[in-house]
Amino acid sequence: MKTLLSCCCFLLLFSCKTDPAKTEATLALVPSEEINSQKDSVFNFGPKPAPNSYDIKLDAHQTSNQIYELEIQMLLYNNAYYASTNSKKDFKGKFTFFLDETPFFSLKSNLIETPLLITENDSEATNNQSSDWIRQNTYYKQQLEIKTSEDFMVRGYIQFTIEPRCTLEKIPVMIKSEKGNVKFEIDRC
């Protein structure tokens, strides 16, 4: 029995031996251009993730002496969607707009969503429940009354969960007044 096992090990040892000269010669014959082109194409298989699911544009328009209208434009790409501000359901990631407390201005009305929310049936929900998803480009407007002529800067953020990526997005924003010119923009700091 020992001789049989010894013979098997001996055969296995010699059959697994590689010839280093042959391997080096084979590698030397492959052109470097072909290696580079294969290296670049290795990661190009499968679906490509969407670069951007959404874009946000902010603006402030003066409507009267001290009244401004803040405008948030949500542009959706690649079948992205999110829960509406006006949804009656308790979504944790619905579209919300927060600002720090400030004596410089006050918000005059609720956030107005345009176009109005369309309730639709949710194929993922049980019992054919409806969901309040925004699946198209939408505008949000908020009235603001300035209470001072001083320069100021107030920070806040826009928060929502973008689907189907299921990521909570929190975009820092700021409202600032410099020499009477009011701006509403994304805070890049």
pLDDT for the residue numbered 163: 86
Say if strands 167-178 and 152-162 run parallel, antiparallel, or are unpaired: antiparallel
60-115 per-position pLDDT tens digit: 999 998 899 999 999 999 899 999 888 888 888 889 999 999 999 988 888 888 88
Q: Which CATH class is domain 54-186?
A: mainly beta
111-148 per-position pLDDT tens digit: 888 886 555 555 554 443 445 888 999 999 999 999 98
Compute the distance between CA of residue 80 and CA of residue 53 in angstroms, rounded to an integer. Answer: 6
* CA-CA-CA-CA torsion sign (32, 36, 37, 42): positive
The answer on pLDDT for 149 being more than 50 is: yes
In the block, tokens 């029995």 appear at 1
The answer on pLDDT for 187 being more than 60 is: yes
**For the chain, first and last CA: distance in Å?**
77
> Domain limits of the chain?
54-186
- What is the DSSP annotation of 4-54? HHHHHHHHHHHHS---HHHHHHHHHHS-HHHHHHHHHHTT--SPPPPS-SE
